[in-house]
Amino acid sequence: MMGATTSGEIRAHNRVRLLRAVHDCGAGRTRSQLTRDLRLARGTASVLVAGLAEDDLLHEEPAREHARGRPTQVPGPHPRGPLALAADVREDAWELAACELGGGTTVLELRPHDGTPDGALRPLGAAIAAHGRRLGHRVIGVGVALAGPVRHGGLVDIAHLGWRSVDVPGVLRSGASETPRPGDPEAPRPDGRGDQEAPPWRLGEGVPGAPVVGNDTAFAALAEARRGRLRGVRVGLHLHVDFDLGGVLVVDGLPLGGASGTGAEFGHMPLTGSDRLCPCGAIGCWGMDVGANALLRHVGLAYGGGRGRAQAEEVLATSEEAVAANARALGRGVAALVNAHDPEVVTLSGHGVELLERAGATLKDSCAPGLMAIRRDDPPPIEGSALGWRGALLGAMESVFDAFLTPEGLERWRENHPDQGHDTPDQRNVTHSTMKGAEPT
């Protein structure tokens, strides 16, 4: 039981187990089902749920469909419960969301940026601080996904934007400390009260502490392992396609990060025979031939610098030749990685889903000749992510809840959760990233 010996330690352990189960199932299983899943006694489960409800961690609602008799209860997020702030920082814009236990997300802000570290991260830091002050002690942490390798917990390099060893937590903190602008959530109200009093927390100080910063592909892979096609898969290969391509191996539900945290970089392997110089400094990177930049280059449009998303999406929708070229390059690289890692399944997110839908046969036909003979008879399936463009954001969320769903994390919640009114996001769920232009539902 994870070293738990005393009755208090066992209870703390079971509280974490129950909350983790509710979170991982998307708050979709009844108390009876959870009790069976966790092999708890009915009385123990009842006591645990009651205690977690008293701590504003769980709230039960009747199941939508139930048999005759007493309604079956479904434990889910408490309306005053913990929230993770999660951000997906892409090359041209960022998206910030509040995420509750179970994975429900509410997009708080979506902003384009100019591609510079200050232009991207300082406004994000200000937005995180603004919503953190508004949401108060409900915020348990911040997770940030970035489109480049992240070293030592926060130094990011995004080669095609010219970012080199950018201290992401430091720049976010500098943005968080700026004077609020009129209309921002933490700006003083006209009556002079507002948040001129001490804010509940500041980014990087105390609770919730420094942000968890990670690579977007690694976070997308983590989300895929928790909530997508890689759930329950022992060895999987996940590829995320945006302006270029990233990839990572997922083993027992976790992306392999490497010695310094920069392991999600399959896109910088010479897998297609190209001799192009990549902005990262290497020659022949696979990512130069797959993604929005490659689509733009194929039709003679300007590319690079995180610009041209709309034009690339137009090419993706209209140019069969450009799409086929992308799909062939993707398939050749997949074959090499399948030979090397022997995954059970290959999953694609971002533009990879669209490439599979529009040119799946081309992709698989390109992959097959590169496979070793022992793999051709039963190659791993190549499948699109059910999470689409949300993977990186949801993975950033998961990184925050992973730190929170521990005995220590729950104890901090009890110590720091004040008995006062809380602001709550208006919207409970988002099914598509607004960065793709889809309206939340």
In this structure, what CATH number is given to the domain that contains residue 17? Answer: 1.10.10.10
Query: What pLDDT does residue 419 have?
Result: 59
Same domain, 257 and 304: yes
User: Among residues 88, 89, 92, which one has the least CA distance to residue 310?
Assistant: 92
Q: Which domain holds residue 71?
A: 7-77
Segments of the chain with pLDDT less than 50: 1, 186-201, 203-207, 420-441
Query: What pLDDT does residue 388 have?
Result: 86
Question: Is 50 part of a structural domain of the chain?
Answer: yes
The per-residue pLDDT for range 271-282, each reduced to its tens digit, is: 998 899 999 999
Query: What pLDDT does residue 182 have?
Result: 53
Q: How far apart are CA 15 and CA 20, in angstroms?
A: 9
Q: How far apart are CA 216 and CA 212, in angstroms?
A: 12
CA angle at 56 for the pair 426 and 406, rounded to the nearest 5°: 110
Looking up residue 314, the CATH number of its domain turns out to be 3.30.420.40
CA angle at 216 for the pair 207 and 176, rounded to the nearest 5°: 35
In percent, the amount of the chain with pLDDT more than 70 equals: 85
User: Among residues 95, 175, 98, which one has the least CA distance to residue 136?
Assistant: 98
HSE-CB for 319 with a 13 A CA cutoff: 21
Same domain, 409 and 345: no
Query: What pLDDT does residue 15 have?
Result: 96
Chain center to CA of 261? 16
Q: Tell which of 52, 77, 102 closes a domain.
A: 77
Same domain, 127 and 260: no
Query: What pLDDT does residue 67 have?
Result: 53
Same domain, 179 and 270: no
Q: Tell which of 77, 107, 125 closes a domain.
A: 77
Same domain, 145 and 104: yes
Question: Is 228 part of a structural domain of the chain?
Answer: no
Q: Calculate the average pLDDT of the chain.
A: 87
The per-residue pLDDT for range 354-403, each reduced to its tens digit, is: 999 999 999 999 999 999 999 999 999 999 998 989 999 999 999 999 99
Q: Tell which of 368, 386, 404 closes a domain.
A: 386
